[in-house]
Homo-oligomer: A and B are copies of this chain.
Amino acid sequence: MGRIAIVGVGQSKFGKRSDASLRELAFESYTSALDDADIESSAIDGSVVCSATHYDKQRSPAGVVSEYLGLSPKPTFNVEAACASSAVGLRIAWSLVSSRLHDTIAVVGVQKMTELSSGEIQELMGRAGDVMWESPFGTTMPAYYAAYANAHMARYGTTEEQMALVSVKNRSYGSKNPNAMFQNPVSLEEVLKSRMVSYPLKLYDCCANADGSACLIITSAEKARKISDRPVWISGLGLASSPMSLAGRKGPMTSFDATRNAARMAYEMANIKPYDLHVAEVHDSFSVTEIINYEDLGFARPGKGAKLLEDQGTELGGRIPVNTDGGLIAKGHPVGATGASQIFALVKQLRGEAGSVQVDGAKIGLAQNIGGIGMYASVVILHS
């Protein structure tokens, strides 16, 4: 396997972006990534466009995005994996470059969600679960993750206060991220008193639907050395699936098999252990998800995720700072853009460009991204 690098990253402002269409959002992060890489668009020989389906009327968005970015007639690929779309797009870009079918690929994650009504969004979210056996009964994302939260509370004694601490931490970091949707911190009390969405998850335990995009420029080692004096290398890639239906899964609902399998693959490929990591981005679709992820990624033993958080182990200065960009909870969750946005934050950390949230001496980082209710999980390990 050839070494593959990320030489440019870009991200739009996330949030309610009524000022920009899908293609315009894509353009913002693409041009920003080109600037970051200090290359021209002509250096890109293909694009992987990642957008979760049905949120937009536009089918096959790579067609219109690639046209708007001025990339026609170059090949373009639509890749989708629900909330993990652009993480999976990165894996495909890695392969396209590593196989030498392409030299330099732009992975563009983009989503526009805020023009839909809350009811439409809930309906569409449910349809990322099994539409034959589950979504007709009203299941949707907050309810799915609430089931995991209840199981974690029952098995390990995890409390609502502990979950709320995830939101407090992430909103605090989000207040330092100019691209975040929510830039005001929240207190523990505010999280606990926010309105109930699906017990035990309250409004501030949940990430928000958003508009936004993020872009990654992926290239070969030879090209990277010519283009960049600060390439970030992809050293581990893991991707796994789980049955889409909860009925098809085994074991207690306190862990995501897909994350554990993807993490094993990524650690093995990078030849490192969890304690070698300096910084991480994990999928905090809900506060409880972040706690479960600590355990699935090996940052804490099963049932000890909340303790790691309480001990400030995942804050700046702790054992492994997590979601120093604010995570999904503060940034918002424009589904197709989220995976690339995590990599954007990680690249900034590994280049020492993370400003007030910089982790001192960060050289090795991990990004974990979950699709749907754990039917896909991607783990990516980067080093500078």
- Chain A: residues with CB nearer than 8 A to chain B? 1-2, 21, 23, 52-54, 56-60, 62-64, 66-67, 71-82, 88, 91-92, 94-96, 98-101, 124, 127-128, 130-132, 135, 237, 239-245, 248, 257-258, 261, 371-372, 375-376
B residues near A375, Cβ cutoff 8 Å: 60, 63, 67
A151 CB to nearest chain B CB (Å): 20
Query: Could you tell me the distance between the alpha carbons of A336 and B10 in the complex, rounded to whole angstroms?
Result: 32
B residues near A74, Cβ cutoff 8 Å: 240-241
Contact between B60 and A82, CB atoms less than 8 A apart: yes
Query: Could you tell me the distance between the alpha carbons of A237 and B79 in the complex, rounded to whole angstroms?
Result: 19
A371 CB to nearest chain B CB (Å): 7
Contact between B242 and A73, CB atoms less than 8 A apart: yes
Closest 5 CB pairs of A and B: A63-B244, A98-B99, A63-B375, A75-B239, A53-B53
Pick from B73, B128, B131: contact of A261, CB below 8 A.
B73
Residue of B nearest to A132 (CB): B21
Contact between B81 and A80, CB atoms less than 8 A apart: no
Contact between B101 and A91, CB atoms less than 8 A apart: yes
Oligomeric state, in number of copies? 2
Residue of B nearest to A88 (CB): B77
Query: Could you tell me the distance between the alpha carbons of A237 and B131 in the complex, rounded to whole angstroms?
Result: 35
B residues near A372, Cβ cutoff 8 Å: 60, 63
A337 CB to nearest chain B CB (Å): 16
Pick from B56, B82, B128, B258: contact of A73, CB below 8 A.
B258
B residues near A98, Cβ cutoff 8 Å: 95, 99-101
A373 CB to nearest chain B CB (Å): 9
Q: Mind listing 6 A-B residue pairs with CB under 8 Å?
A: A1-B101, A52-B60, A53-B54, A54-B54, A67-B243, A99-B99
Residue of B nearest to A101 (CB): B95
Contact between B242 and A72, CB atoms less than 8 A apart: yes
B residues near A371, Cβ cutoff 8 Å: 60, 63
Residue of B nearest to A135 (CB): B57
B residues near A53, Cβ cutoff 8 Å: 53-54, 59-60, 80
Given A64-B244, A77-B79, 10 more A-B residue pairs with CB atoms under 8 Å apart are: A1-B101, A2-B99, A52-B60, A54-B54, A59-B82, A60-B82, A60-B371, A67-B375, A78-B79, A78-B88
